[in-house]
Chain A
Amino acid sequence: QQQVKQSPQSLIVQKGGISIINCAYENTAFDYFPWYQQFPGKGPALLIAIRPDVSEKKEGRFTISFNKSAKQFSLHIMDSQPGDSATYFCAASVGGATNKLIFGTGTLLAVQP
């Protein structure tokens, strides 16, 4: 019940296209859903995050769509660029005494020029 399932494992997109990565969860107590971007040899960097009281959040080319009833959320990268090529992780946490993040298994995105 603590798992976050992420798909696809890898994704190839043409420059200018839309990249879509999906995550699903079971624990309805999760109340914070961030997405992280990680380049090889680097630490994860926070991209965008959402809470269950909104269905969509947009920051620049990055959008999170959240479906509370389906317990799913997704990251959309519009106008994908080669510089977006990285591994993307979704995560979830339960606020309160501990805010430990439960991570998905990651999606390796390659944007071809």
Chain B
Amino acid sequence: NAGVMQNPRHLVRRRGQEARLRCSPMKGHSHVYWYRQLPEEGLKFMVYLQKENIIDESGMPKERFSAEFPKEGPSILRIQQVVRGDSAAYFCASSPDTGGTDTQYFGPGTRLTVL
């Protein structure tokens, strides 16, 4: 059973461009979480999605950031008009569909660098 997959692993964007990060949860998982880790800091929750629904987006910046988890395909975290402060590692986690939804398994992350 493959783990959580994220791509790209590294992404470089210039200020003002769009960044699109993808996450494929583990097989049998329909709960997806996105976290951001700034350099030398802990992980901060951004958004929690189930298939086709945003359940909790309390950690998402109000502007420029959006997330989706379509019925088919990976979850997407989109950052429009990136700024240098968006440079960070973005991690996706997934949890099982049945019981024990507390346990979250993390992907390897996408490291975004904004020039």
A residues engaging B (CB < 8 A)?
Answer: 6, 32, 34, 36, 42-46, 49, 89, 93, 95, 97-106
Judging by beta carbons under 8 Å apart, are A105 and B106 in contact?
A: no
Chain B residue numbers with a CB within 8 Å of A104 are: 42
B residues engaging A (CB < 8 A)?
Answer: 4, 6, 31, 33, 35, 41-45, 48, 55-56, 58-59, 91, 93, 95, 101-109
Q: How far is the CA of A54 from the CA of B58 in the complex (A)?
A: 30
Judging by beta carbons under 8 Å apart, are B91 and A44 in contact?
A: yes
Judging by beta carbons under 8 Å apart, are A98 and B56 in contact?
A: yes
B102 CB contact (under 8 Å) in A42, A43, A99, A106: A99
Chain B residue nearest to A36 in the complex (CB): B106
| CB-CB under 8 A for A46 and B103, given A98-B55, A100-B56, A103-B43 | yes
Q: How far is the CA of A20 from the CA of B15 in the complex (A)?
A: 42
**Number of CB contacts from chain A to chain B under 8 A:** 64
A93 CB contact (under 8 Å) in B55, B102, B105: B102
Chain A residue numbers with a CB within 8 Å of B35 are: 101, 103
Q: How far is the CA of A96 from the CA of B108 in the complex (A)?
A: 27
Judging by beta carbons under 8 Å apart, are B59 and A100 in contact?
A: yes
Chain B nearest CB from A7 CB (Å) reads 13
Known: A103-B43, A105-B42. 7 other contacts (CB 8 A): A34-B102, A34-B104, A43-B106, A46-B103, A98-B48, A100-B33, A102-B45
12 contacts between A and B (CB under 8 A): A34-B103, A43-B107, A46-B106, A89-B43, A93-B102, A99-B31, A99-B101, A100-B48, A100-B56, A104-B42, A105-B42, A106-B41
Judging by beta carbons under 8 Å apart, are A45 and B59 in contact?
A: no
A89 CB contact (under 8 Å) in B42, B101, B102, B109: B42
Chain B nearest CB from A51 CB (Å) reads 9
